[in-house]
Chains A and B, each alone.
Chain A
Amino acid sequence: MTGDNAFAELMHEYVGECLPLAEQAADGFLEVERRWNAGQQADDLAPRLKGVVHTVKGNSAMMGLSAAAEVAHATEDLFAALLADPSQREPAALDLLLDGANLLIELVRSATSGKGDAARVTAWVQGVRAQLAGQAPAAMTAPGASSRSSGPEAAVDTVRVDFRRLDALQEIVGEAIIAQSRLRDIQRRMVSHLGFTEESAELDASINAVEKTTQKLEDAVMATRLVSLSGVFGRFARLVRDAAQSSGKQVRLETSGGDTRLDKAIVDRLGEPLVHLITNAVVHGVEREEVRLGRGKTAEAVIRLAAAPVSDGVILTVSDDGGGLDADRIAERARALGLEVNSTAPDAIYPLIFVPGLSTVEAVSSLAGRGVGLDVVASSLHAMGGSITVESAPGRGTRFILRVPVTLAVVRTLLFEVSDERYAIPLAHVVETLRVEDGDIHEINHRGVVLWRGELLPVVDGAALVGAGAIAGEAARKYTVVVHAGTRRRGVLVDRLIGHRSVVAKGLDPALGHTRLVSGTTIMGDGRVTCILDAQRLVDPLPGHTATVLT
């Protein structure tokens, strides 16, 4: 129908401009619904919302996307009618309004693919017409034979690529990086055997050039894989609304940072854990209205979903203003499972909710409702090289903090050697490296510390950490790698610093029997498998014992 639209080559810009607008409309209508249900005015939101939908309508029409234009148009009419006549603001009409915005999101999103549910559009438009004509909205079933094919079908100047091809491309980049580090390795050995020669200098320059090109290639491939979180975030407003309705609570979702961009592979894997955490927050995290009022809280609970980029990835938080976790019950439940719970500090007990088996379905009620399958959430985050932690304040709420890398594949690392073993640590977690001399390491409470930038930095022996079996005093390590993650810092004592390397992270090889401090492995230039250390766990307080102190 519109396959030869003159502006088809701008389809990407259309989606880029209209998707956020459609999402703003969906969020805006939810807020309008919330206010109307609470007996408040929403007129101040109307001009902006009208403008947003109007722009989507105009742009969709320009692009020949008649279904999206039609839905936007009917949404405008419906919204205008509801604004003008409060008696029409019944649940079915508000549902229609929200459905309209969500339908618009889908139509805009599928504009480049040409897929559109024409029958759903027709059914929804009929529902709106019926509503506007003062009749009860028709049932939202799709009519059997819709003769009009109003799905967006404009041709685009964009190539659709199977995501697996981008995966394959990234694999190839990974192989190039490995081959290039092999070259670098050989060049260094040449220099150390033969000294500097004109040839080795030329080789060095060529490898530099290859490294720059590979870096550009890696960045370019990465850029094709980045998508914003807004698509995932967009699903949650409705999820919260529906979950709240069915559990008889008033809950508002606030989101921020939806424009944060991540590798599609990670965004895809984040959906499920987030659905889990958010549903849990609505169903179990926040209290019923009467309980909230009794505690002096607002009747309406707030769940916040936020994303923000940090140096080594993205931090997402899911927080609620509910009752918080019950440390006593968690400890009780953990003991019932045969776990040893030594600490009484709530902060030490909360993380137990991620232990497999602790948060099973039958435990729901006994755990103040928290944690159906939180171990599953935690393990899916670990599988993508991320982590999850929890904070809670009794009576005030709970916050889950998720850290995820921007990409799954390439990590910039610092390579070092300890007890003749090589390890890599993500560079984003390295503050600096220090030379340590005899006497620099002091012992306080049986723990090693060094004086660093005027503060006492706890240090641990690298070999002891990774279970390589170092013996105190066996070798005085020469360097400290200062590692930070979150708010904690720790020095790791190592023998030799090898340098910076971009490495291709592979999963763990079970045959190698890693400790919990290893997040993955990589193959180095010389073919050796090297462990990548998990910085977050490296700085976590050590349970029970501390590493051997070398003096």
Chain B
Amino acid sequence: MSTSLTFLVVDDSKLHHQMYELVFSRGSLAGSTILHAYNGREGYTLLQAHPELTAVFLDLNMPEMNGLEFLAQRRADGMQLHVPVVMVTTEDSPDDERRGREAGAWEYLRKPFQPVDIERTVARVRQSSVHG
């Protein structure tokens, strides 16, 4: 990858941030910049300040502002709608996925995921943002 990619991770679990950190430091995504937010509100503030984001990885269950509230706010404000949002959900919650898509999520990442899943997801959202 020659272009520098920037990702926003919004998750209340420190462990997940470290997992993304690991994935974005290796393989095809090595050298990416990551912005970290530990709840929806923090994440939204970072979203407002970073129009250059390649994608947002948004956890669903969080304190303060959850993933769905984040998406609703973004739609209401028309904030950085060009930035793809990947909703991160647990495998057994198809309902959440539907609600996420309705609220404006582009993609899903289901836990448990592996590094290759993130790489594929990133490839997909980059494609759609280029053509879309």
A residues with a Cβ closer than 8 A to B are: 6-7, 9-10, 13-14, 17-18, 51, 54-55, 57-59, 61-64, 69, 73
> What are 22 of the A-B contact pairs (CB < 8 Å)?
A6-B22, A6-B23, A7-B19, A7-B22, A9-B22, A10-B15, A10-B22, A13-B15, A13-B18, A14-B15, A17-B14, A18-B15, A54-B61, A54-B90, A55-B12, A55-B13, A55-B61, A58-B111, A59-B15, A61-B90, A62-B112, A62-B113
Q: Could you tell me the distance in whole angstroms from the C-beta of B34 to the nearest C-beta in chain A?
A: 15
Q: Are A62 and B19 in touch, CB under 8 angstroms?
A: yes
Question: Given A6-B22, A51-B61, A54-B61, do A59 and B90 touch, yes or no (CB 8 Å)?
Answer: no
B residues with a Cβ closer than 8 A to A are: 12-16, 18-19, 22-23, 61, 63, 90-92, 111-115
B113 neighbours in A (Cβ, 8 Å): 62
B63 neighbours in A (Cβ, 8 Å): 51
B16 neighbours in A (Cβ, 8 Å): 59, 62
When C-beta atoms are compared, the residue in chain A nearest to B21 turns out to be: A10
Q: Are A61 and B91 in touch, CB under 8 angstroms?
A: yes
When C-beta atoms are compared, the residue in chain A nearest to B59 turns out to be: A58
Q: Are B14 and A62 in touch, CB under 8 angstroms?
A: no
B111 neighbours in A (Cβ, 8 Å): 58, 61-62
Q: Are A10 and B19 in touch, CB under 8 angstroms?
A: yes
Complex Cα distance A51/B63, Å?
9
Complex Cα distance A64/B91, Å?
14
How many residue pairs link A and B with beta carbons under 8 A? The number is 48
A13 neighbours in B (Cβ, 8 Å): 14-15, 18
Q: Could you tell me the distance in whole angstroms from the C-beta of B59 to the nearest C-beta in chain A?
A: 9
Q: Could you tell me the distance in whole angstroms from the C-beta of B10 to the nearest C-beta in chain A?
A: 14
When C-beta atoms are compared, the residue in chain B nearest to A61 turns out to be: B112
Q: Are A6 and B114 in touch, CB under 8 angstroms?
A: yes
A59 neighbours in B (Cβ, 8 Å): 13, 15-16
A6 neighbours in B (Cβ, 8 Å): 22-23, 114-115
When C-beta atoms are compared, the residue in chain B nearest to A69 turns out to be: B112
A55 neighbours in B (Cβ, 8 Å): 12-13, 61
When C-beta atoms are compared, the residue in chain B nearest to A59 turns out to be: B15
Q: Are A17 and B91 in touch, CB under 8 angstroms?
A: no
Q: Are B13 and A58 in touch, CB under 8 angstroms?
A: yes
B18 neighbours in A (Cβ, 8 Å): 10, 13
Complex Cα distance A64/B111, Å?
11
Question: Given A10-B22, A55-B61, do A62 and B90 touch, yes or no (CB 8 Å)?
Answer: no
Question: Given A6-B22, A10-B22, do A58 and B14 touch, yes or no (CB 8 Å)?
Answer: no
Q: Are B90 and A57 in touch, CB under 8 angstroms?
A: yes
Question: Given A6-B22, A7-B22, A62-B111, do A17 and B61 touch, yes or no (CB 8 Å)?
Answer: no
A10 neighbours in B (Cβ, 8 Å): 15, 18-19, 22
B112 neighbours in A (Cβ, 8 Å): 58, 61-64, 69
Q: Could you tell me the distance in whole angstroms from the C-beta of B95 to the nearest C-beta in chain A?
A: 14
Complex Cα distance A55/B115, Å?
19
A17 neighbours in B (Cβ, 8 Å): 13-15
Complex Cα distance A6/B25, Å?
13
Complex Cα distance A63/B22, Å?
13
Complex Cα distance A58/B92, Å?
11
Q: Could you tell me the distance in whole angstroms from the C-beta of B14 to the nearest C-beta in chain A?
A: 6
19 further A-B pairs in the complex, CB-CB below 8 A; given A6-B115, A55-B61: A6-B22, A7-B22, A10-B18, A10-B19, A13-B14, A17-B13, A17-B15, A51-B61, A54-B90, A55-B13, A57-B90, A58-B13, A58-B112, A59-B15, A61-B111, A62-B15, A62-B19, A62-B111, A62-B113
Q: Could you tell me the distance in whole angstroms from the C-beta of B83 to the nearest C-beta in chain A?
A: 24
Q: Could you tell me the distance in whole angstroms from the C-beta of A68 to the nearest C-beta in chain B?
A: 12
Complex Cα distance A17/B19, Å?
13
B90 neighbours in A (Cβ, 8 Å): 54, 57-58, 61
A73 neighbours in B (Cβ, 8 Å): 92
B23 neighbours in A (Cβ, 8 Å): 6
B92 neighbours in A (Cβ, 8 Å): 73
A9 neighbours in B (Cβ, 8 Å): 22
Complex Cα distance A61/B90, Å?
9
Which 4 A-B residue pairings sit nearest by Cβ, starting from the closest?
A61-B112, A62-B112, A58-B111, A17-B15
Complex Cα distance A51/B62, Å?
8
Complex Cα distance A537/B7, Å?
60
